[in-house]
Chains A and B, each alone.
Chain A
Amino acid sequence: MKIAVCIKRVPDSETRVKIASDGRSLDEAGVKFILNPYDEFAVEEALRRKEKAGAGEVVIVSLGPAAAQETIRTALAMGADRGVLLQTDRIPADGLEVAKALAAELKDGGYDLILFGKMAIDDYNHQVGPMVAELLDLPCVTAIAHLDLTGDKKGGTAEREIEGGVEVVEFPLPAVLTADKGLNEPRYPALKGIMAAKKKPLDVKPASLGAGGLELVAMVPPPERKGGKIVGEGPAAVPELIRLLREEAKVL
């Protein structure tokens, strides 16, 4: 079982981010970066598949700045075998450019499975996984919460949690899958894994990126929340509350 997992280095969701002086990027000073949490599910799933198969290779691929090597090391510490960094100072706003660069790297890798997180928690785009599948002409199942592969490595079944139910999708291998929360419980990297990760191969090469069709023009913090209003107390306040919710807030 040869599995690629594409990961992204993202700001920690606990960090308070600030917009940089150019008005269209984040001020990275003092920001802690982590392995995108959805990608953690993908890494964990790849490791479990390899462990279950008893053989194979898990390759971590990332596109990002030099510092993304640390993010790849985290995945290697969890147990992945080797890493590839497509290095660029700035990740393009156009997901298609990222997808093209990743697809070129993955194309001749002979992977049975290519896994992604369903989205990155910094840009919420949900794009790159399906785009890579399209570029490689592979089937794609997004946001999977459960995965079964057939014993013969020919295909599998994935479950997606949709509004009010579960969608069950069959697919042949090789395939591209994107992971949702609930797929598994990612492991912590053990100290032995952290030690071993230092010695695992990590190939760094420049990412070849086109200009793309999107330009990020501005980043703006969300408007400050306005103060609430107390319309009264007890049952007597209910009619007024309903009126305001309907007429002012327009949520009813």
Chain B
Amino acid sequence: MDDSLYFTDQHLQVRDMVRDLARQVIRPTARRYDLESQFPWDNVKQMADLGLLGIPWPEQLGGAGMDYLSYIIVIHELAKVDASHAITVSAHTTLGTSPIVDFGTEEQKRRFVPLLATGKVLGGFGLTEPGAGSDAGGTKTVAVDRGDHYVLNGSKIFITHAGVGEIIVATARTDPAAKKTRGITSFIVTKDTCDLAEATRVGTGHDPTLPKCPGVLTGKKEDKLGWRASDTRELVFQDAIVPRENVLGQFNGGFRHMLHTLDGGRIGLAALALGIAEGALEECLAFTSTRKQFGKAVASFQGVHFALADMATEIEAAKHLVYHAAWLKQTGRPFKPEAAMAKLYASELCMRATIKAVQLHGGYGYTTEYPVERMMRDAKICEIGEGTSEIQRIVIARQLLGDLID
């Protein structure tokens, strides 16, 4: 894809900066964070200082004041080197912060967005429950009106930043009598980070002056196949007290808000998957051109040519899908099916490409000495998180068929 199709000089400056950061700072540390399943606090602090935790938000809200494409470029570049870092920025920005920017009152934006945009605290999005995944209408967490506050009970699972985060947008049922998808409301819940020592050490991730909601608890940390340096945990509401002013957006309109947030998130996840695939291709080019078998570089065999050519072709196609969807969103055009197509295609491509990358590395690819095994593990969740591939197909088919069928 020619850069001039979507990118300005400023986009390229952002890309150069993030590419340097990814190669020089993140790449050398990614393997250790993955092996130890540790949240990369030092790198998160550096990303916060560079403005990467508030890219598309206005400067008066503490953001960098850049556009959506800049944000997508950052996710793409980070994921080439390490998906955990990319999902940390993505979950914080699109899932944790964007609902408050999109649906919050002026007061809510003023209170919460600057903390998130500057990376002072980390944000997350609490939607999935043990009994409500793709079927978010099955939300069981309840919120009971107690006048000046709500009392929440229930639990959310697989929540990115449920542990390290301090501001989480969570959904709960506020009208038990309403139909499945109605009667759900979004709340801004606050809690202390579970990693106070590290947050204090690096100077990001904790704000002692932010009032916290009693009864919001961090559950067990998930032991995952991939994205191991990203913080994924259970979030438990045990008679949690959430002030009335923390109701986000329209009362009983939480389901619609959630769909909106997920639509935007899909493009970010597509960019992330694209980044993993491209990173894997770069590793393959470097490895196969130096690794010798039968007296010559592995890359000189035609069977390897075919594999590399297929990877590169699919990556090129995915780039067009991802950046076109991002451009649609940025320019205010409808983007729902295009975002779903980009996410579907890029995530399935990144699975194929990383499996192939491990194969091209032979035995080395199966060891943690080379990053392709990590990339392969990181790829799988792209077909699951923020809407499975199956859900993406449903979204696309619904757009195609519209009212043609019931």
Interface residues of A (CB under 8 A from B): 34, 70, 73-74, 77, 188-192, 194-195, 197-198
Contacts and interface: CB of A to CB of B under 8 A. Distances in A.
B52 A191 contact: yes
B65 interface: yes
B72 to A, nearest CB: 14
Interface stretch (B14-22, B260-268, B303-311): B14-22
Contact of A188 (B9, B21, B64): B21
Contacts of A192: 51, 59, 64-65
A191 B66 contact: yes
A247 to B, nearest CB: 30
Interface string B1-44: 00000000110011011001100000000000000000000000
Contacts of B50: 188, 190-191
Question: For B14, B17, B64, B66, which residue has the most chain A Cβ atoms within 10 angstroms?
Answer: B17
B389 to A, nearest CB: 33
Contact of B66 (A34, A188, A195): A195
Contacts of A194: 10, 13-14, 17, 66
Nearest to B52: A191
B49 interface: yes
A74 B49 CA distance: 17
Contacts of A195: 10, 59, 64-66
28 contacts: A34-B16, A70-B9, A73-B9, A73-B13, A77-B13, A188-B17, A188-B21, A188-B50, A189-B17, A190-B64, A191-B14, A191-B50, A191-B52, A191-B64, A191-B70, A192-B51, A192-B59, A192-B64, A192-B65, A194-B10, A194-B14, A194-B17, A194-B66, A195-B10, A195-B65, A195-B66, A197-B13, A198-B10
Contacts of A188: 17, 20-21, 50
Interface string B83-102: 00000000000000000000
B55 interface: yes
Contacts of B16: 34, 74
A73 B65 CA distance: 18
Contacts of B17: 77, 188-189, 194
A73 to B, nearest CB: 7
Nearest to B64: A191
Given A190-B50, A192-B64, 14 more contacts: A34-B16, A73-B13, A74-B16, A77-B13, A188-B50, A191-B14, A191-B52, A192-B51, A192-B59, A194-B14, A194-B17, A195-B10, A195-B59, A195-B64
Contacts of B49: 190
Nearest to A77: B13
Contacts of A77: 13, 17
A34 B10 CA distance: 15
A63 B293 CA distance: 48
Contacts of B20: 188
B51 A191 contact: yes
CB-CB nearest 3 A-B residue pairs:
A191-B51, A191-B64, A190-B50
A39 to B, nearest CB: 15
A190 B70 CA distance: 13
Nearest to B25: A188
A34 B17 CA distance: 11
B141 to A, nearest CB: 36
Contacts of A198: 10
Nearest to B70: A191
Contacts of A190: 49-51, 64
Nearest to A69: B9
A202 to B, nearest CB: 12
Nearest to A186: B20
B55 A191 contact: yes
Nearest to B46: A188
A185 to B, nearest CB: 10
A156 to B, nearest CB: 29
B16 to A, nearest CB: 8
Question: For B49, B51, B66, which residue has the most chain A Cβ atoms within 10 angstroms?
Answer: B51
A188 B70 CA distance: 16
Contacts of B51: 190-192
A197 B13 CA distance: 11
B13 A74 contact: yes
Nearest to B18: A188
Contacts of A197: 13
A189 B55 CA distance: 14
Question: For B10, B20, B65, which residue has the most chain A Cβ atoms within 10 angstroms?
Answer: B10
B64 A189 contact: no
B369 to A, nearest CB: 23
Nearest to B50: A190
A192 B53 CA distance: 12
A74 B9 CA distance: 11
Nearest to A78: B17
A194 B73 CA distance: 15
Contacts of A34: 16
Contacts of B21: 188
